[in-house]
Structure 1
C-alpha cells in the first residue's frame, strides 16, 4: 500500500509465472531486484500439493550456487514477458459495441439469486455496479437496474455488512455474502458509498440512503484523524483470531437483550450451533455473524436501533482489531469524492464538511514544495505520489466543485491535472505511467488500465479529462482523453468488463451528455438537481458570489446571464448551447 508501484511490478510477475496473484506475495530475486521465483502463500512445511519453505529454500540455494545460468535464463525470460505485458495494442476509441459487450459479459456472470457477479469469493466491485447503473440509464433496459439494486440490497443484508457497527468488510468468502473476510478498507467504504448514493438517486430506495449515512457514521467514528485525514483500514483479526471481534454466541445475545433476544435471533439468523465456520476444519463454532434475510420494516428498524446500541456498547469493550492508521492520498481522494457526492445528493452539509476537512488535511500535510506525496503517518509525509494519488485527488476535487460550486476546487483540479500530465503522460504512446520516475522500477515505468478492487489510474484519469474539458470548455483535455482511449483500445474493446470505470467514460461520450449552467442563488436551487441520477452531465451553479471567478476558469459561462432576474438554465451539448430556460417550473421539467 505504501509502494504500490513496486507491488504492481512483482504482482505482475507472479501472475505471469503462476496464472494468479494475491497476498501475501512471495518473491525470490537477485541482488539486482530481478525475480526468478514468485508465488503467493507458501507454508513452512509441504502441505498436500503445495511446496513448503523448508523444501523450497534448499532448492533455491542449490540452484543459486550450482546453476547460475539457470537463474540468468529465468530472469531474462521474465524480463521479456514483463516487457510484452506493457505492450498495449492501440486503435480506435471504443464505441457502443464495447459498452454493450462489457455489459453482456457482466450480465452472463450475474448471480440472480444473491446478486453480484460470479461465485465465491465475491468482491463488491462498486465500479462495476456504477457501470451497470449507467447502462440502465443509457439503454432504458430495467434488467441492468435490477442487477444493481439486487446486489446492493443483498450486500446490505448479508454478513459482509457490519450490522452492529456499520461499514463493509472487504469481500465475501461465499456466494451468499454471509461469511466475510473481516478486514475493512477505506477504499471499499468510499466506492460503495458512491454506488449507494447513485442508486438512491435512481430509485429513491430508503435502504440505500440509510446505508450511505451508516457508512459515514462508521468512518467518522473509527477512521477519522482528529485533523480530518482518513485512516486506511481495520484488520480482520483480534486476539489472533479472524472475526473474533464481530461474531456472537446465542447465549451472549440472550443475556444482553433479555426479552428482545428472541426477536433479534430470529431476524438476524442467530442459532446455537452458529453460522461461523472454522476456516481449517469447516466445523461450526457456535459463533454467529448477524445477517438479515429481508429488509426490516419501519417498526422493526426502530426496535433494532435499541438492540444494536446495547450490542455495540458490549462489543466496544472487546479487544479491537488493529487500526492501520497511515493516511494515503489516493484512498483519501476516493473518500472525499464519496462524501462530496453524498453531500450534494442528500443536500447535507455535514457530508460536504467532512469532504472539505479531509481535502484540507491532504493539502496541508501531503504537499511539499508544490509536489504531492503518497503517505502520511505519525507526523511524517513521504513517498512521491503515484498516478492513483493524482487521479483520485483530481476526481475528489471535481466532486467537491460539483457539490459546493466553489470555483477554487475546480481551479485546483485543473492545476493538479496539469502537473499530472506533465509528470506522468507517455508522450510517445499516450496514457499515464503509474510512477513519476523509474529509479526503483526494475523493469521501468508501468502503465495500468485494468481495474482491481479500485479503478485503475488511467480509468479515472479518462473520466477526469472528459469532465474537466466539459466544465471548462478546454477541448485539448478531451484530446488527451481520446489518446488514452486509443492507447488502450484493444483491451477496452475485448475486456471491458474488467475495465468498467473506463467504460463509464465511453458511456458518457456515447450518451446525450450535457453541460448545464444554472444561474440561481443557493436558496433557489430545485431539489430535482440533487435527487435525480444524471451521470452524463456536468453542471455549474452560477451565483453572484462565484460568477466572476468562474468566468475566468470557464470563459463560456461569462456570456450566460439571468433572464428577467429569474433562475435561468443553459443546456449545452458538445459545447453548443440551446435557448436558455427561465423560471423554476421550466427548469424542473427540463432537469427531471
Structure 2
C-alpha cells in the first residue's frame, strides 16, 4: 500500500483534503495496534497487516480492513472508493457514523476487558497435549498446515509437560519440530539465525525476514531441548543463533536490534539465495560438489530458479556413511565451505536492518543469552546479556524508574507496556541465576513493584497491556493469547511465580494465583493458544520450586554445584546463590529468610524447597544430582 497508494499523488490529494493521515509503528505503539486490530477482527472476522482503520475526530473507529489496492480489483474495494464514499457519508450524515462508532466501541470494551475466569485444573494440560497431538505434522514437524510458524512457546510447554507427566510423545513432537526447523530453509545455514516463518509444510521456503524475538525464543527452546535430550546439535544451533545476534544484531552499546528485512534490492530473499554458479565462484570444485549435494543447491533451484540451502534431503552424517567418509573431516570441510560462502554473500547488498531497540524484545534476548550462559557454562553470554540489561537500565527509564519502550540514536520514548516489564523481568531473573549478581534480582523486584502498581486490575485481576501512566486510549485490553510473542500476562505470571518462591512473599503468590484463575476459563476454551499461560499454571502444581545454594565463592564444590543446577532442566524453578560472608550480604538484606540457609559444617549446601517448605540440605555433588533428578 505504501508504494501503490501512499506515495501516489492522487491518493495523497484525496487523503489530505478530507482526512488526517496517521501512520503508526506497531512495534513502538503496540497498544494502538492491539486496540484497532481488535476492531478490525470484530468488523471483518479477520485481521492482519497493513491495518487500515478510519476514525472519527475523537478516535473512535467506524471502518476497518487490511489491504486495499488503489482502485477496486478482483472483488476487493479500492482505497480511492473507500475514502470517497465514506467522506461523502460523513458529509451527509455524520450522526449515523458517530452512532456506529459508539456501538463498535461498546462491543470492543466489553470484549477486551472481560477474560473468562475459571478454576485451574490439571486437566487443561492434558487437553492441550491432545490438541497438539491432533494438529501435529508427523512428517515435517510443527502444527497445522502451511504457513508454519516456529512458536517456540509451544515447544517449551511440550517439553515441560513431557517431563512433568512422563509423556514421551510430547517430547518427540518437540524434538521433531526442532529438527525440521533446523534442517529447513527457515534456518540460515550460511549466516545463522531463523527467518520469521515457513511458507510451506517442509520449512523450506521462509518469509526471509528475521525477527529478534523469534530468535530469542528459539534459542531458549533449543537450549531446553539440549538439557532434556543431551542432543549436542541443539546446543550448537542455539550457539550459532547467538553468534548471528552478536555479529549482526548488536549495537555498539550492547543492546539488540529489532529485525532484518526479507528483501534487498526490491527482491524478497535475494540476499540469501544461491545458484550453482555462486557456489562455484566461492568454492573449489570438490568442495562445491559436496556442499551442493548436501545443501540442495541444484541447477534448476528449489525456489524461483535459485536455491535455499537446506538439509531436508540429506545430512552430513548420512552422506559420510554412504561414501565411507570420515565424519569429522567432512564436518570440517563443510564448515570451511560455509565460511567462504558467508564471505561471498557478505559482498551483496544487505537487507535493511531495523536498528531500533525495543525493551520487550531485548528482555527476551537477555533471557536467551543468560540461559545460554547457564546451560553452556559460558560467561561470555552472561556478559552480553548484562551489557544489554545495563543499557536499558541506564538509558530506557524515566526519572521515576518506569520503563520506556523504544531507544534509537540516543533517544528513548514511549511509556513502557506490560510486555516491556514482563519480558525484561524474565531476562533479569535469568541473568541473576547465571551470575549470582544480586543487582539483577533487585532490578527484577523493582520492575515487579511498578508493574503491579501501573498495570494490575484491582477490581477483577490480571494485568492490562497498557500502563495507567501512558496515553489514555479508548480501551485498555488484557492480553492472554500467545501469538508470535507469548502474552505479557502469561510471562508475568511465570516470572512472578518465581519471584514469589524466591522472596517467600505470600501476597505476591496470591496475585499470581488470582491471575491464573482470572484467565483459566479463557485458556480452557482453546488450550493450545495459551502455551505460556500453561507453563505458568504448571508451577503451582509443582510446588513453586526454589533452590538455594549456600557456600563460599572460593569453594570449588560450591562452583560445581552451581554448574550442576544451572545445567539441569528445571522448568519454572527459581535459583538463589547465597554466598558466605560479605559477598552474600546484599542478598541477605534483600531476602532475610535465607539467612538461616547456611553451609553445613563448613561444607557448601543446597536447599531444595517446594510448597514453601525445604528438604534437608545436600552437601555433595552426587547427592545434589540425585535430588535434582527426583524434584523434576
The 1:399–1:439 alpha-carbon spacing in structure 2 relative to 1, beyond 3 Å, is closer
* Residue 576 (structure 2) aligned to one of 519, 534, 540: 540
Q: Distance in 2 between matches of 1:179 and 1:520?
A: 52
Q: Distance in 2 between matches of 1:374 and 1:355?
A: 18
Within a 5 Å distance, the mapping from 1:18-37 to structure 2 comes to 18-37=44-63
Within a 5 Å distance, the mapping from 1:246-395 to structure 2 comes to 246-259=272-285, 260-276=287-303, 285-293=304-312, 294-297=314-317, 298-299=327-328, 300-369=330-399, 370-395=401-426
Q: Encode CA deviations 1:144-176: one digit per residue, 9 max, x unaligned.
A: 000111101110110100111110001111111
Cα offset for 1:513?
4.6
Match of residue 445 from structure 2:
414
Match of residue 480 from structure 1:
511
Q: Distance in 1 between matches of 2:495 and 2:543?
A: 18
Q: Secondary structure at the match of 1:569?
A: strand
* Residue 178 (structure 2) aligned to one of 124, 145, 152: 152
Q: Encode CA deviations 1:452-489: one digit per residue, 9 max, x unaligned.
A: 11111111111111100001111111111111112222
Q: Distance in 1 between matches of 2:118 and 2:48?
A: 33
* TM-score, normalised by the number of residues in structure 2: 0.90
Cα offset for 1:93?
4.1
Cα offset for 1:563?
1.6
Match of residue 38 from structure 1:
64
Match of residue 279 from structure 1:
none
Within a 5 Å distance, the mapping from 1:97-112 to structure 2 comes to 97-112=123-138
Q: Secondary structure at the match of 2:245?
A: helix
Cα offset for 1:89?
4.4
Match of residue 152 from structure 2:
126
* Residue 233 (structure 1) aligned to one of 259, 267, 275: 259
Q: Distance in 2 between matches of 1:170 and 1:183?
A: 5
Contact 1:34 1:442 (C-alpha < 8 Å) held by counterparts: no
Q: Distance in 2 between matches of 1:318 and 1:68?
A: 54
5+ long unaligned stretches in structure 2: 1-26, 318-326
Contact 1:568 1:587 (C-alpha < 8 Å) held by counterparts: no
Q: Encode CA deviations 1:121-156: one digit per residue, 9 max, x unaligned.
A: 111101111011101011111100001111011101
Matched, 1:590 2:627: yes
Cα offset for 1:62?
2.5
Match of residue 457 from structure 1:
488
* Residue 490 (structure 1) aligned to one of 521, 543, 557: 521
Q: Mean alpha-carbon deviation: is it higher for 234-243 or for 91-100?
A: 91-100
Match of residue 77 from structure 1:
103
5+ long unaligned stretches in structure 1: 277-284
Q: Encode CA deviations 1:543-583: one digit per residue, 9 max, x unaligned.
A: 22543222222222111122221221212111111222222
Q: Encode CA deviations 1:54-87: one digit per residue, 9 max, x unaligned.
A: 3322222232223434422321231122012124
Match of residue 468 from structure 2:
437
Within a 5 Å distance, the mapping from 1:60-209 to structure 2 comes to 60-209=86-235
Q: Distance in 1 between matches of 2:282 and 2:620?
A: 58
Cα offset for 1:531?
2.8
Cα offset for 1:442?
3.8
Contact 1:517 1:569 (C-alpha < 8 Å) held by counterparts: yes
**What's the C-alpha RMSD, in Å, of the aligned pairs?**
1.6
Q: Distance in 1 between matches of 2:75 and 2:351?
A: 33
* TM-score, normalised by the number of residues in structure 1: 0.95
Contact 1:392 1:460 (C-alpha < 8 Å) held by counterparts: yes
Q: Distance in 2 between matches of 1:312 and 1:439?
A: 44
Q: Mean alpha-carbon deviation: is it higher for 291-300 or for 320-329?
A: 291-300
Contact 2:550 2:579 (C-alpha < 8 Å) held by counterparts: yes
Q: Secondary structure at the match of 1:432?
A: coil
Q: Distance in 1 between matches of 2:109 and 2:500?
A: 33
Match of residue 281 from structure 1:
none
Q: Secondary structure at the match of 2:549?
A: strand
Cα offset for 1:110?
0.9
Q: Secondary structure at the match of 2:87?
A: helix
Q: Distance in 1 between matches of 2:435 and 2:269?
A: 40
Contact 1:6 1:441 (C-alpha < 8 Å) held by counterparts: no
The 1:537–1:187 alpha-carbon spacing in structure 2 relative to 1, beyond 3 Å, is same
Contact 1:5 1:434 (C-alpha < 8 Å) held by counterparts: yes
- Between 1 and 2, higher relative CO (CA 8 Å, sep ≥ 6) is seen in 1
Q: Distance in 1 between matches of 2:626 and 2:604?
A: 14
Q: Secondary structure at the match of 2:404?
A: strand
Q: Secondary structure at the match of 2:283?
A: helix
Q: Secondary structure at the match of 1:248?
A: coil
Contact 1:406 1:546 (C-alpha < 8 Å) held by counterparts: no
Q: Distance in 2 between matches of 1:437 and 1:506?
A: 27
Cα offset for 1:439?
6.6
The 1:543–1:322 alpha-carbon spacing in structure 2 relative to 1, beyond 3 Å, is same
Contact 2:109 2:475 (C-alpha < 8 Å) held by counterparts: no
Number of residues of Structure 1 aligned to a counterpart in Structure 2 = 584
Match of residue 247 from structure 2:
221
Q: Secondary structure at the match of 1:478?
A: helix
The 1:309–1:206 alpha-carbon spacing in structure 2 relative to 1, beyond 3 Å, is same
The 1:385–1:304 alpha-carbon spacing in structure 2 relative to 1, beyond 3 Å, is same
Contact 1:247 1:289 (C-alpha < 8 Å) held by counterparts: yes
Q: Encode CA deviations 1:254-291: one digit per residue, 9 max, x unaligned.
A: 23223111111111111222111xxxxxxxx3111111
Q: Secondary structure at the match of 2:50?
A: coil
The 1:378–1:266 alpha-carbon spacing in structure 2 relative to 1, beyond 3 Å, is same
Contact 1:98 1:494 (C-alpha < 8 Å) held by counterparts: no
